[in-house]
Amino acid sequence: MSLPTALDSAPRPPLTWLYVPGDRPEKVAKALGCGADVVIVDLEDAVAPDRKEYARAATADLLADPVTTGPGAVPVHVRVHGEDDVRALAGLPGLSGLRLPKITHAVSVHHVAAVAPGVPLYPLLESALAVEHAYSIATAHHDVRGIALGETDLRADLGVREDRGLDWPRSRVVVAARAAALPPPAQSVFPDVRDLDGLWTSCVRGRGLGLLGRAAIHPRQLEVIERAFRPTAREIEAAEQIVAASLVEEGALALPDGRFVDAAVVASARRTLAIAGRS
């Protein structure tokens, strides 16, 4: 049985996902122009309880504004706090996706999909139970377009102190996403916005585990994330050689330097070139 092929000819994927508080519309406006591939308006953890309704209304205004929803606009996702948010935002033209926090079972995804049919859904796995159910969540509904970890809550749930303690959950969601023919998950946020060296080291580790791109909480983190997950010149050259050889000869083949490649390697090379082709 062959592996899912939905990713083999995928368009250039986003690498940077910038969170911004939903009750700060002036910051949201700035975020839309700072170069992030996707802006995530946060109605959950970043908003105090007494400002939830205001944040929802401000976000609804944003998503209904033709200036921010027209051709070429930066995709806007919303991390919702509850069903009231989903119902208020689901039909708005500027909504590109809903981030669903603290999902533990597929049934929760089904419920949101019923309230917001056709809206791309991105469940966030933030507990041990959610990680155990990663594949069932990833395949819960055809509107699920990606999964990712919420590592702050997951660390607390697992009692993990060191970053490497999350390697297995990260690998678990990478495998679940691939098995479900979803894009590779983006890495969770790095909380220290001043430690760019630490961010770089963490991104390199995440990339090595199969994660692609990363969520950010400050614009200064975007360049580091972009650079860490973009293919190197050597990786691009190798991918170009593989793709060029595949155009000459189909099936398994050997490159001039002795490397043996097959269809899966060619698909991986094409994905590398798709990422490298970013402007």
Q: pLDDT by residue for the chain (279 residues), tens digit each?
A: 343 444 444 467 899 999 999 999 999 999 999 999 999 999 999 999 999 999 999 999 999 987 776 778 899 999 999 999 999 999 999 999 999 999 999 999 999 999 999 999 999 999 999 999 999 999 999 999 999 999 999 999 999 988 899 999 999 999 999 999 999 999 999 999 999 999 999 999 999 999 999 999 999 999 999 999 998 888 888 888 888 877 776 666 767 776 777 777 888 888 888 888 743
Cβ(215)–Cβ(17) below 8 Å: yes
Q: What is the pTM of this model?
A: 0.88
Cβ(41)–Cβ(74) below 8 Å: no
pLDDT at position 6: 40
Cα–Cα distance, 62 to 219 (Å, whole number): 20
